[in-house]
């Protein structure tokens, strides 16, 4: 079980458009439904699809895949979380494995050019596929997308996801972050995302998914090295390729999105959260990941931008 890292979550605000306070840790039934539905669009690649996990095609009928590829993924998990707290979100996704945000802007823009309420953008895992760590494309394409969506709806909340350290890039010779601490890649990605936010003032927030993974390692919830086996009682956040996420890794990703977008403390979902039960996470594992997400979202509000 996670060690308590943060303490003052209830008094803090998650950066959502209305600056709503996090809901207290009470029964989800006490959260009022929203009407009419809010629209949310997810733009990304396999990290949004839930690749290499049972999440990829899970509950695909509850979301709208704009490419008609039949993916559920992280968007479907977000949808299920919102249903459990009686919020009404109309969830859409536009994804393509192995592609950058630039690809989506250049090749799929006609599918995306609509007045959304919320947008979640997810960049390629190493930023530039040919030049790992190069944020040039991220800075350009984040700004272009913010302009696109703000033109359609000036009140849209656009969030940029900062993803996790790839174990294969850290522990294998030839990896761009080889020999560095397991936290290093996620921190570099976060610095790039913060630069993108500074260059696109209309961007609502950076989603600290990579920092939540690092917190899970530090708290003993997850094993930081998949190449030497997984310690008893800890989760492996990576899938079999040590690149994509496992179910637990995607669950943590979705919790961060849920908490930031809705302003609700992820711990409200509780040990008996239905998606975790359906997908095979234990009540203790679900609760531990919810705590990590909750504490990371709180810490992120007071973390200086890098």
Identify whether 8 is part of a domain.
Answer: no
Identify whether 10 is part of a domain.
Answer: no
- At residue 16, the pLDDT reads 37
Identify whether 86 is part of a domain.
Answer: yes
- At residue 106, the pLDDT reads 98
The model scores a pTM over 0.85: yes
- At residue 305, the pLDDT reads 64
Quote the number of domains for the chain.
1
Identify whether 5 is part of a domain.
Answer: no
- At residue 129, the pLDDT reads 97
- At residue 29, the pLDDT reads 42
Identify whether 46 is part of a domain.
Answer: yes
- At residue 230, the pLDDT reads 96
Identify whether 306 is part of a domain.
Answer: no
Peptide bond into 36 cis (omega under 30): yes
Q: Which domain holds residue 260?
A: 15-301
**pLDDT tens across the length of the chain (306 residues):** 333 433 333 333 333 333 333 444 444 444 455 478 999 999 999 999 999 999 999 999 999 999 999 999 999 999 999 999 999 999 999 999 999 999 999 999 999 999 999 999 999 999 999 999 999 999 999 999 999 999 999 999 999 999 999 999 999 999 999 999 999 999 999 999 999 999 999 999 999 999 999 999 999 999 999 999 999 999 999 999 999 999 999 999 999 999 999 999 999 999 999 999 999 999 999 999 999 999 999 999 987 765
Q: What CATH number is given to the structural domain containing 92?
A: 3.40.50.1110
């Amino acid at each position: 079980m996670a060690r308590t890292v943060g303490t003052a979550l209830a008094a803090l605000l998650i950066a959502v458009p209305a600056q709503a306070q996090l809901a207290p840790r009470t029964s989800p039934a006490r959260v009022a439904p929203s009407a009419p539905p809010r629209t949310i669009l997810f733009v990304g690649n396999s990290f949004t699809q839930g690749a290499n996990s049972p999440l990829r095609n899970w509950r695909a009928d509850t979301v709208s895949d704009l490419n008609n590829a039949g993916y559920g993924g992280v968007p479907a998990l977000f949808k299920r979380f919102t249903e459990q707290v009686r919020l009404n979100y109309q969830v859409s996704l536009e994804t393509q494995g192995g592609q950058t945000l630039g690809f989506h802007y250049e090749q799929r823009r006609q599918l995306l050019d609509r007045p959304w309420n919320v947008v979640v953008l997810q960049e390629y895992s190493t930023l530039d596929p040919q030049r790992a760590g190069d944020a040039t494309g991220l800075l350009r394409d984040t700004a272009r997308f913010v302009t696109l969506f703000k033109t359609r709806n000036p009140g849209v909340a656009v969030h940029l996801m900062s993803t996790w350290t790839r174990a294969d890039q850290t522990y294998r010779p030839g990896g761009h972050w080889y020999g560095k601490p397991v936290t290093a890649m996620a921190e570099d990605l976060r610095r790039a995302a913060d630069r993108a936010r500074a260059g696109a003032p209309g961007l609502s927030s950076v989603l600290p998914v990579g920092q939540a993974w690092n917190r899970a390692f530090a708290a003993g919830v997850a094993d930081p090295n998949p190449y030497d086996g997984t310690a008893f009682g800890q989760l492996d956040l990576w899938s079999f390729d040590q690149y994509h996420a496992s179910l637990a890794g995607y669950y943590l990703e979705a919790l961060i999105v849920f908490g930031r977008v809705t302003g609700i403390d992820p711990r409200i979902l509780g040990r008996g959260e239905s998606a975790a039960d359906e997908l095979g996470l234990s009540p203790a594992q679900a609760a531990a990941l919810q705590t990590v997400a909750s504490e990371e979202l709180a810490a992120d509000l007071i973390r200086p931008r890098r």
